[in-house]
Structure 1
Amino acid sequence: MGVFTYETEVVTKIPAAKLFNAVILDGDTLLPKIIPQAIKDVELIEGNGGPGSIKKITFGEGYQFKYVKHKVEAVDKENLSYSYSVIEGDALMNNALEKIVYETKVSPSPSGVGSICKSTSKYYTIGEFEIKEEQIKAGKDKSSALYKAIEAYLLANPDAY
Structure 2
Amino acid sequence: MGVITYADEYTSPITPARLFKALVLDAHNLIPKLMPQAIKSIEFTQGDGGAGSIRQITFAEGSQFSTLKNRIDEVNEENYSYKYTVIEGDALAEKLEFITHEVQFEPTPDGGSKNKMITKYHTKGDIVIKEEDIKAGKEKTLGMYKVAEAYLLQNPDAYA
**With structure 1 as the length reference, what TM-score do the two structures score?**
0.95
Offset at 1:113? 2.7
Separation in 2, partners of 1:26, 1:37: 19
Match of 2:147 among 145, 149, 156: 149
SS in 2 for 1:73: strand
Mapping of 1:76-87 within 5 angstroms?
76-87=76-87
Separation in 1, partners of 2:6, 2:133: 11
Separation in 1, partners of 2:120, 2:32: 25
Letter in 1 for 2:134: I
Letter in 2 for 1:31: I
Equivalent residue, structure 2, for 1:107: 106
Aligned-residue Cα RMSD (Å) equals: 1.0
SS in 1 for 2:91: helix
Offset at 1:121? 0.7
Separation in 1, partners of 2:140, 2:101: 14
1:54-78 deviation line (CA, Å, top 9, x unaligned): 1110012222111111110000000
Identity percentage of aligned residues: 52
Equivalent residue, structure 2, for 1:118: 116
Separation in 2, partners of 1:121, 1:64: 20
1:41 aligns with 2:41: yes
Total equivalences in the alignment: 159
Match of 1:135 among 126, 133, 136: 133
Separation in 2, partners of 1:67, 1:146: 17
Q: Which stretches of structure 1, 4 residues or more, deviate above 2 A after TM superposition?
A: none
Mapping of 1:24-35 within 5 angstroms?
24-35=24-35
Mapping of 1:45-56 within 5 angstroms?
45-56=45-56
Offset at 1:112? 2.3
Separation in 2, partners of 1:24, 1:62: 25
Query: Which stretches in structure 2 are left out of the alignment for 5+ residues?
Result: none
1:58 aligns with 2:23: no
